Structure 1
């Protein structure tokens, strides 16, 4: 049995910016907990810097960013830059969930986002992606 299977995957589910709709974030957080992941939820209206600080302080394996405001092309790069400043970008699987136009997804991936999950994505697909791609602990 690998170390990955023996330990909990630590996740931060984060709401960035002024987006006040958090039902999806709560659904994902609960599904991740039910899957055996350790989950921290940021709460609403967090600045990119606050999310970076929480991810670093909580030493998370996975950062799930929920954003529906349309500001993903501005806010997500700020988070990615912040993770890089702390040396955490390479060790953190970053996911984005929300209404992200198909044409914006390649730029997010170039920033270091591992995957973008839109509305209607089966939760099990997201859980499996995390299990298969969460970084191994050093």
Structure 2
């Protein structure tokens, strides 16, 4: 399979969880993923954790990108991870978090199963390369 075919087979859900209305970063990453050849679904704003889980499971995504700037990451991200586990989708889904996440909060999110946390200033190429290297093979 060529790298272009591999990229096309990577299904991504880019999501905005909670009351955070700042979606420019989510739009930028969704567009970059699309330009890289990934299949992208954007959840829209103000989604509850269970809505994001339902979308990830129903769309059978390989990658779930959670964009959060509200500061509620320690509450909302674990709810998403628990939901994925309930549907036996946690091990089959590469979960990424993007946003302003304090260094002291990162280990807890990683223990929950978040594969990577991308903060401000992370290059688009770094994020795309991480997805290509770590997305589950189906």
Q: State if a TM-score over 0.5 links the two structures.
A: yes
- Following TM superposition, by how much is the alpha carbon of 1:5 offset from its aligned partner in structure 2, in angstroms? 2.5
User: Could you state the TM-score of these two structures normalised by the residue count of structure 1?
Assistant: 0.96
1:136 maps to 2:137: yes
1:24 maps to 2:25: yes
Bigger shift: residues 2-11 or 90-99: 2-11
1:99 maps to 2:100: yes
- Following TM superposition, by how much is the alpha carbon of 1:8 offset from its aligned partner in structure 2, in angstroms? 1.9
RMSD: 1.4
1:15 maps to 2:16: yes
2-side partners of 1:68 and 1:20: how far apart? Answer: 9
Matched residues, number? 137
User: Could you state the TM-score of these two structures normalised by the residue count of structure 2?
Assistant: 0.96
- Following TM superposition, by how much is the alpha carbon of 1:77 offset from its aligned partner in structure 2, in angstroms? 0.1
1-side partners of 2:45 and 2:117: how far apart? Answer: 20
Q: Is the 8 A contact 2:14 2:30 kept in 1?
A: yes
Report the equivalent of 2:91: 90
1-side partners of 2:72 and 2:65: how far apart? Answer: 16
User: Structure 1 unaligned runs (5+)?
Assistant: none
Q: Is the 8 A contact 2:7 2:36 kept in 1?
A: no
1-side partners of 2:7 and 2:121: how far apart? Answer: 30
